[in-house]
Structure 1
Amino acid sequence: MKNPAFSMLELFAHIHQALNEIVWGMPLIILILGAGVYLSYRTGFIQVTKIVLIAKSIVSGFIYQKKGEGDISPFQALTTALAATVGTGNIAGVATAISLGGAGAMFWMWFSAFFGMVTKYSEIVLAVHFREKKPGGRIVGGPMYFLQKGLNSRILAVLFAFFGSLAAFGIGNMVQANSVADAVNLAFGVPPFMTGIILAVIAGAVILGGIKRIASFTEKLVPVMALIYVLGAVTILLLNMEFIPRALASIFNLAFTPEAAAGGFVGAGIRETVRFGVARGIFTNEAGLGSASIAHASARTHHPAAQGAWGIIEVFIDTLVICTLTALVILVTGSIESGLEGAALTTEAFNRGLPGPGGLIVAFGLIFFAFTTLLAWSFYGEKCFEFLFGTRASLRYRQVWIPFILVGAVGGLRGIWNLADTLNGLMAVPNLVGLVGLSGLVVKLTKEYFKR
């Protein structure tokens, strides 16, 4: 006789899988892409037409980092947001997109990133414009604030904060802790439980210091870890230069070819190529989810659009640089024919390109990318929770967050991980409603800033 409890677990798994496919299916992908296209059109495609002024704005932000109201510098806001976006998606996500959707999936990652630049820009502009000063002088903002104050919708604001505070425990906490534990166990043989304890202690010391300590930590670690990974990938590409044109040709040719089948994947049609490319692109740069704007809202800046410019650079670095390098390494080394998926495929590619150090670069990349993602998402979740339950709830959220790192490291509560992925997608819905509804204000603030 079948165990009733086991049957209930099976039923829950099937229900969740169906729900997740709906949430992360084509309708949401079309909605996010559509919002990006619409916002790009309304702002005059500033990711192209204003690129020189955006570059000047970034340089100005470096020079005058102490000017303007806020808790952290514009660069610290960028590195905190990059800490959340540059993660396992850049290593495992790209590999998954290519192994399941073919080389052409990379084209659709670029496509989503191009329009995602303005989506991310718009999120930040609104988050900074509607941010609030809390007791003690702290500055807070994000989609929940522009939905409530700008769109006058308390319901949408609460929904975003609810989804965000819960999704953070899965996608930003336990999944990342488990990725670190697995990478450390594979590379050095350290038991996941020990890794979990060490992670919880280090992360706790950083997280309990609030956004200033998190930003100070990510400001130093993110550039270093990104540079090591990029240098490793570039070295492999330089050693395999003759294969780069062929790799690029396969990306463009297979982006529109229904019979995109070769090597380790079987018959991935055009629908799957588009779906995996766009979905993985959104997953890795988070444009449309609204999460990164929570970090940028704390930045010292003299105008919302000035900080918004950093969001465009953020998507560029995450997807058009790091994800592209990962994809090209996989393609030029021929690792796509190995039949592997996810992080294992990227590890195989780096090992083929740089036997010995290649695997270590990916291992350390997974460890540090996942760890900094954990730190940034703790702040995102906390601010969402604070919006729902008040300032005093922040400390309680941190106190609950830290033990869950150990739970994730040892592989516990995997059902919550899956549910968090669904909640992560649901965050996008109220955020996109706010972006489209307040697009007129984004246009106004953009024109105001770039006329100066």
Structure 2
Amino acid sequence: MQTFTKTIEKISDFIWGYPMILLLLFCGIFFTFQLKFLPFRYAKVVLQETVGKLFSKQEKSKSGTLSPFQAFTTSLASTAGATNVVGVPVAIGFGGPGALFWMWIVALIGMSLIYAEIVLGIKFREKNEKDEWVGGPVYYMQKGLHWKIPSIIYATGLMFEVFASSMVQANCFSKIVTSSFGWSKLMVGIGLAILVAIMVFGGVQRIGKVTEKLLPFLVLVYVGLTGYIIFTLRDQIPETFGLIFQHAFTKTAPIGLFAGAGIVQTIRWGMARGLYTSDAGMGNSAIANATAEVEYPSQQGFWGIFAVFIDTIVICSLSGLVVILSGEWQRAKSEEAQAMILQTFSKVFGEFPSQVILSFMIGLFAVATIGVIIYYGEKQAEFLFFPKAGYIARFFYLGAVVLGSIGALEFCWKLVDLVLVLVVVPNVFALMFLYKHVKEETDRFLDYQKTKPKKGTPKAQT
């Protein structure tokens, strides 16, 4: 087993060195320029179509579909999970403070990628036998490009990635709970699997209803708690940002228990975690947002841009800043990086309250995240095999939750990174070949924005 683990780590480290870094940077920059810096030039429109509509009266979603906000929170749940709380300290533990900078870079260029994925996911979506909207990379690969083999590779890769990701999410929760309360890892895994099962067996409608209530609450609470910690350590903010920018481009020497990190290692951990936490280039967001009842694909694409901002720029940044500000990144061994956030919270709120707060929050994050990504896995199983295959796949994924609860942390991360290659590569190439469709839909919506009447929205062509 040890030999197998080492082999996985070596392959993962190589692929997520220069090969994937260059591919993702190229694709992200490509779409950023093709869309003429859309997330930044039209930031006002993005806010109007997202935050601006939160308190407006919206029609109830039709049978088998979700409202735009439900689709957004469902997509956000797959990224704003336990890995944002624990995964960012892990990246810093292995790559140093500079890893946080590369997470930001992935987020900024990833906004255009997420937007493109969602637009294509809605443009090429279809209704299934349950009268549900289904879409995502496998649909725009087959309907837009007639790519059968790449779509099969993507669906297969995503099924395995969901299995590995479920392990990672469960592992994050298990590490916090068992280290805090000494509970059995196996019992923690079984309990988590039961809660996830209650969510996923209700279908996409239940998932949407849970996430629209749960995610805003969790995000606001986490932002409040970490914001308070940053405020108490505000005198160290200039030094912290200095470390982040300095070590983004230079080797990080060993400090305390931190083993040190080279530049490539820093970029590798930052970009890999940035990709994983934002879903940029993976296509997952297109699967969730394809369920939304919208009239223009770009409208839901803007929710994707907003999701990346909340997930990576806000939540991941807060997680990273608090462990750097507190100095915990220097005092924890890399293999114990998941404990950094707990130690940081304990300094401010006390040990026991921090254990309770983080266990509760990470548990809820994990339930929401695992529930959503299992839905992703189900849809790939249905695409590859037959409609009932998704139901069968649920049990394998619930088993992954239990397995992940007793698994090794770094191995789980490396396994996710390796499987991500099968997902990212075909999706990225499909996006670039279909970029004209993204531009056409974007121009169509922006033209409508210039001429739209003050009240009402005309039906768009489908």
Q: Do these two structures clear the TM 0.5 threshold for a shared fold by scoring above it? A: yes
Once the 2 structures are TM-superposed, how far is the Cα of residue 323 of structure 1 from its aligned partner? 1.0
TM-score by structure 2 length?
0.89
Once the 2 structures are TM-superposed, how far is the Cα of residue 310 of structure 1 from its aligned partner? 0.6
Which has the larger displacement, 67-76 or 288-297?
67-76
**1:349 aligned residue (341, 344, 347):** 344
Residue in 1 that maps onto 2:392: 396
Which has the larger displacement, 407-416 or 28-37?
407-416
| Matched AA of 1:391 | P
| TM alignment of 1:65-84, pairs within 5 A | 65-66=58-59, 71-84=65-78
Q: Is the 8 A contact 2:168 2:409 kept in 1?
A: no
Q: Is the 8 A contact 2:253 2:261 kept in 1?
A: yes
Residue in 2 that maps onto 1:114: 108
Question: Is the counterpart of residue 154 in structure 1 residue 139 in structure 2?
Answer: no
Residues 1:10 and 1:239: Cα distance change in structure 2 (over 3 Å)? closer
Once the 2 structures are TM-superposed, how far is the Cα of residue 362 of structure 1 from its aligned partner? 3.0
Q: Is the 8 A contact 1:102 1:261 kept in 2?
A: no
Deviation track 1:403-435 (CA, whole Å, cap 9, x = no partner) reads 443343344999888545422232001100111
Deviation track 1:158-186 (CA, whole Å, cap 9, x = no partner) reads 11111111221121x23323333333323
Residues 1:420 and 1:264: Cα distance change in structure 2 (over 3 Å)? closer
| Matched AA of 2:401 | I
Which has the larger displacement, 333-342 or 216-225?
333-342
Q: Is the 8 A contact 1:65 1:300 kept in 2?
A: no
**2:92 aligned residue (91, 98, 103):** 98
Question: What SS is found at the alignment partner of 2:145?
Answer: coil
| TM alignment of 1:397-436, pairs within 5 A | 397-411=393-407, 419-436=415-432
Residue in 1 that maps onto 2:133: 139
| Matched AA of 2:273 | R
| Matched AA of 1:224 | F
Q: Is the 8 A contact 1:68 1:301 kept in 2?
A: no
**1:55 aligned residue (16, 27, 47):** 47
Q: Is the 8 A contact 2:82 2:173 kept in 1?
A: no
Tell me the distance in 1 between the aligned counterparts of 2:117 and 2:84: 22
Question: Is the counterpart of residue 257 in structure 1 residue 250 in structure 2?
Answer: yes
Tell me the distance in 1 between the aligned counterparts of 2:322 and 2:409: 34
Question: What SS is found at the alignment partner of 1:378?
Answer: helix
**2:320 aligned residue (320, 323, 327):** 327
| Matched AA of 2:212 | E
**2:293 aligned residue (300, 321, 331):** 300
Question: What SS is found at the alignment partner of 1:72?
Answer: coil
**1:271 aligned residue (264, 277, 280):** 264
**1:22 aligned residue (5, 14, 23):** 14
Q: Is the 8 A contact 1:259 1:267 kept in 2?
A: yes
Question: What SS is found at the alignment partner of 2:163?
Answer: helix
Residue in 2 that maps onto 1:448: 444
Which has the larger displacement, 293-302 or 271-280?
271-280
Q: Is the 8 A contact 1:289 1:425 kept in 2?
A: no
Residue in 1 that maps onto 2:159: 165
Question: Is the counterpart of residue 205 in structure 1 residue 198 in structure 2?
Answer: yes
Tell me the distance in 1 between the aligned counterparts of 2:372 and 2:267: 29
Residue in 1 that maps onto 2:79: 85
Residues 1:412 and 1:315: Cα distance change in structure 2 (over 3 Å)? closer
| Matched AA of 2:186 | F
Tell me the distance in 1 between the aligned counterparts of 2:61 and 2:356: 41
**1:41 aligned residue (28, 33, 46):** 33
Tell me the distance in 2 between the aligned counterparts of 1:414 and 1:116: 25
Q: Is the 8 A contact 1:228 1:361 kept in 2?
A: no
Residues 1:337 and 1:379: Cα distance change in structure 2 (over 3 Å)? same
Size of the aligned set, in residue pairs, is 443
Residues 1:157 and 1:82: Cα distance change in structure 2 (over 3 Å)? same
Once the 2 structures are TM-superposed, how far is the Cα of residue 297 of structure 1 from its aligned partner? 0.7
| Matched AA of 1:365 | M
Once the 2 structures are TM-superposed, how far is the Cα of residue 359 of structure 1 from its aligned partner? 4.1
Tell me the distance in 2 between the aligned counterparts of 1:104 and 1:94: 12
Tell me the distance in 2 between the aligned counterparts of 1:413 and 1:284: 16
**1:376 aligned residue (356, 363, 372):** 372
Residue in 1 that maps onto 2:452: none
Which has the larger displacement, 254-263 or 160-169?
254-263
Tell me the distance in 1 between the aligned counterparts of 2:320 and 2:404: 28
Deviation track 1:62-109 (CA, whole Å, cap 9, x = no partner) reads 336437876111111121112111123312222122233222221111
Residues 1:177 and 1:150: Cα distance change in structure 2 (over 3 Å)? same
Tell me the distance in 2 between the aligned counterparts of 1:349 and 1:94: 13
Q: Is the 8 A contact 1:79 1:215 kept in 2?
A: yes
Taking every aligned residue pair, what percent have the same amino acid on both sides? Answer: 37
Q: Is the 8 A contact 2:196 2:368 kept in 1?
A: no
Once the 2 structures are TM-superposed, how far is the Cα of residue 344 of structure 1 from its aligned partner? 1.0
Tell me the distance in 1 between the aligned counterparts of 2:96 and 2:343: 17
Once the 2 structures are TM-superposed, how far is the Cα of residue 207 of structure 1 from its aligned partner? 0.7
Once the 2 structures are TM-superposed, how far is the Cα of residue 151 of structure 1 from its aligned partner? 1.5
Tell me the distance in 1 between the aligned counterparts of 2:404 and 2:330: 32
Residue in 2 that maps onto 1:387: 383
CA RMSD of aligned residues (A): 2.4
Residues 1:353 and 1:412: Cα distance change in structure 2 (over 3 Å)? closer
Unaligned segments of structure 2, at least 5 residues:
449-462
